[in-house]
Structure 1
């Protein structure tokens, strides 16, 4: 009986399959995490670029309306809309020195699901203040 146990312990057939089965979930999770993070960074960069274009539109003459700013923002989102939702909030105001300004706030979120772990929606929020030329 002791001889059979020793023979069984020395037998290494199938160890590669066991090691593969132990490493596979971690590898798949890391791969999906990397893909989701790259999509998140793409969405954030696209949102920032669209916000920059809308902010630039505020500072040129003639000052565009809020609807034109929304259109400018949406046109420059590239293909980011397919990965998450993006909205632009426009607020007009006057600073302490009497200058008019326009606050632009872009918000959105990316849904992240790693097959084994559901992380929900990761929010993105960017703001920018622009001063129109009068």
Structure 2
């Protein structure tokens, strides 16, 4: 059975040939004998390139979507943390004449330094026992620009407005 022209068709993509020698012992557990090699059929040339052309765009969309989601999640957490730090500062120092809530908010989130963060608060009307509320917001553009475009007639995902809110009791 080890003839030079013997070909066994096992799957539509591959065939076994006994024309070259295979010295891997693990092939014997597959029912292959010494000297059989798995080869691609000649008409399957370029199939891997076509498969990659089909799968690669989907993988890139997943990768870009993951990066964009991570960035949005990070900015949202930073906005909320900055608003909380500003509310804490306003609650403790509400009676100070030099109360700078916006400066405290922007200093609390250095990762937001390149973004136009809007800060609003009601610290001027804060009295002991009342609540102070600090709100931070930003219009976040896409990191890649890829998700700015709408697909199939829908609007794009970006720019997206993110808001963080911090509330604390004044003087206590």
TM-score normalised by structure 1 residue count: 0.75
Larger Rg: 2
Partner in structure 2 of residue 111 of structure 1: 141
- For residue 81 of structure 1, report the CA deviation from its aligned partner: 3.0
Partner in structure 1 of residue 162 of structure 2: 124
Instruction: Structure 2 unaligned segments of length 5 or more: list them.
Output: 1-41, 149-156
* Deviations 1:62-118, CA, capped at 9 Å, x for gaps: 644686111000101112233x43211112557xxx953322111113212655542
- For residue 59 of structure 1, report the CA deviation from its aligned partner: 2.1
The counterpart of 1:24, out of the listed 27, 45, 56, is 56
Greater relative contact order (CA < 8 Å, ≥ 6 in sequence): 1
Is 1:79 aligned to 2:117, yes or no?
no
Q: Using the alignment, how far apart are the partners of 2:76 and 2:44 within structure 1?
A: 49
SS in structure 1 at match of 2:158:
strand
Q: Using the alignment, how far apart are the partners of 1:78 and 1:113 within structure 2?
A: 18
SS in structure 2 at match of 1:27:
helix
Q: Answer whether contact 1:59 1:130 (CA < 8 A) is retained.
A: yes
Label 1:62 to 1:113 Cα distance change in 2 as closer, same or farther (>3 A): closer
Is 1:100 aligned to 2:127, yes or no?
no
The count of aligned residue pairs is 122
Q: Using the alignment, how far apart are the partners of 2:96 and 2:55 within structure 1?
A: 56
Instruction: Structure 1 unaligned segments of length 5 or more: list them.
Output: 1-9
The structure with the greater share of residues assigned to strand is 1
Q: Answer whether contact 1:70 1:88 (CA < 8 A) is retained.
A: yes
Please give the root-mean-square deviation of Cα atoms over the aligned residues, in Å: 2.8
TM-score normalised by structure 2 residue count: 0.60
Is 1:45 aligned to 2:77, yes or no?
yes
